[in-house]
Structure 1
């Protein structure tokens, strides 16, 4: 408790180790420090007082460069320093300080640096703790505890100081395990060979001593003593020697314990560490009573009582003093004083027990609040996980939906592209087919034209041969007539449209006159092939004589065939 009370009493002053070191321009000092963390630590150590008193207007003006500095953590520091200053000014919990802490938390949240969020949480919690509003302080320290586990403590400005604040608080509410955890973390981040290091090592030793883990307690006391000796800190040397004496006493080494304890008393008194001297003197008195050195025990008690104060903190020490006095008086045979001291012991012991019961009840309340807070945090975390899972599921569903839509669109586009390519191919094929058909049509028309031309030429030859044959017969030129007749017969035979020639011609005619035959066969299903030949040759505007020669029949045969056909299909065919 001595260590905790000591830390509480100097909490504000310990924040500002650079006393009156202000320069006309704070920016010059900050620019000399390249690292952002060191800049923040430099400012957090500034003394908020001017000429021994808090001047908030002066402080705001002096700290104004922090608001526009490129280091985002300095804006946070600005509001934390003003919170500390107003806390000193009001000397109690007040709305102005609360407002500065609120603003500091907003800046920390906006910075996006998780380690910065620890500063307003711990310092605000310690602010409430200093003024003993424990229930109000508890949520801030609990929130900080959750954050400490996930933070890189190397990035936390004055990390050891803030861990000490947390350790002090948890030690006060009776959570020794948590206090030890944070003291040990603080030891890792404290500057080497400083009073802060000694203080932390001693605090760890105290907690092990309370739990009767003497070897561990002695280890940390001795480590602290080594640092005190290296730094020539005689005050801490005396305190730690006294604490080691308590360990030796617990282990049964009374002689060495007395030597160390008396050295501690001298050192503590020399440097006005009266509470530590009082505590050590009571320990020496207990040893003297156990050894039945009554006079020496009374001398220790008389010297210790000088430093008693009318405060609840001293109840336990007054209880011990009156118990020892009662034992001494009874041993000396002074029954009247023994009864008086015993009654005083009972009175103080009842008050001490009542105080302890109150503390236990209070600690039980704080433990319940801690469990409730942790339960709320757990529920909030579970809800956050559920919400995150839900959001993730929705996001995944949306992504899958979008992906499916994208795939469908892509597939649709691919199908459209394939269809487009097929269509282009089909169009090209059609164009090619059309081109081929056009070429074939041109070719067929040319062939048809050539066919008609040959027919006409053949017809001229036949007519010429018939004319020559008639003249030869008139002139009785038998040999010549026979030759002409033979030529004429050959010509007629070659000119006659045989079945084979007809089908080749029919195919050619169908190309130049598409649908002609199909339409006739549809209108006149019983029409004969001979009739088709006659109609086709008539369609080409051939005269009856040419038709007769082609079909190998007489001119009268052609005329009669046309007459029969006209009656049959009621079709007018020109002669």
Structure 2
């Protein structure tokens, strides 16, 4: 193969086999320099950078692209320089280096505008819009996506038109304009399907699924996720499979199918472990813990959420860590460990406050960037009309910038002070609430014990009365009077345990203050005996005990339960005791 043929083959394999491409690109570089082939040399350097990118070695990736840029600059190859500036902009974006990323993109934009290459401008505007979206510069991002649509309309590039539509849809989704997001994203999906672009189709299906889920339209979200998953499974794209599996797991948990949620999230975790990708690892472990908790596998849930917290803390993923602490609090509460649950909840709140402060700082930074960008564009336009700015305008501009900086500092300090006071107040309220809850719980437990004792006394009394009735009947039939003394003893014992139903009702009302009011408001046709039966059923007493209290047989209790269910209008799948206990 010629050097040019080898370059094309290596670019085709750069994603699927980065390790072997890296080795072959090094050999290609030596041969290109020996043969004096500029094109092969610059591509060999870019291929090494691309291979390092897919191997997640971003420092080496940036190093080789910068070497390639130097070669292109020495050859004064503007088109190749623009391509490399674009790649470097994407790399800086992956690092989170906003200013460096935007600087590289601007240099590429300047070159393509000077060359009037509309096709290249389409792709570049989409990339810039995506980078600005990641940096939360939504207004500027929208501008570049709209520019991309105009360039695509001029040159007829429908694929990049779909990319721009998808980007606009993502911005609408972030701003919770869900209906607009659905309309724009679905247009992109149709174009991808028509073009046979599987990767773009999978990406937009993922975004559509997220929007449908946010709207509570779970069935439509599921269809999008399952279609996208099938596309990426056919393509063997692990990161896409991981994303869809995780989203399906979250959806299954939301719909109350934790067994399926566990299976999907476990699949996502396995792929995230193989990459490795800490953010998805922590998110998947958090969702797995929720599935296990719903499956009543509490110990496993606690182990999973502890792993999620450890990964998030190690990689300083504050958002994932604070989400995991909230889940840990739920798990510990379900395990009957309220003190530890409260500690976890407090840790979640502390991290939530940290995220709030960080987001506010980022918002101030974002506003300053937008301001600086707008000022830069205004300055360029003004310089085209007038050679020099008047001195007083420059002075007022500097004063304005300084004033904005001072205002920003004052706002940040005020926000920090406010958050500090709110945290102190929250801690005090939590401690007071904890003490009050403990006191009320002790009172409630005591009242419940008293109520149970009263119910059992009523049952015992009615059993005694039934026994007396039988003894009297036997004496009457036998004509003997020998049992009179024993009968009198039973009557005296009955006087010791006797408790009337009004006393029981009073004790029951102390623990379930609104029970009878809610029941009679919702079902005014209930009789006094049916109200008594409802109260006893809400205490989870056995049928035998209820029969003794109400002085009816077990069969009578069953019939009374049936009549009560019918009057309450309960469906077959609704339990009578849970319904009454929930009042």
Larger Rg: 1
TM-score (norm 1): 0.45
TM-score (norm 2): 0.45
- Structure with more contact order per residue of length (Cα contacts < 8 Å, sep ≥ 6): 1
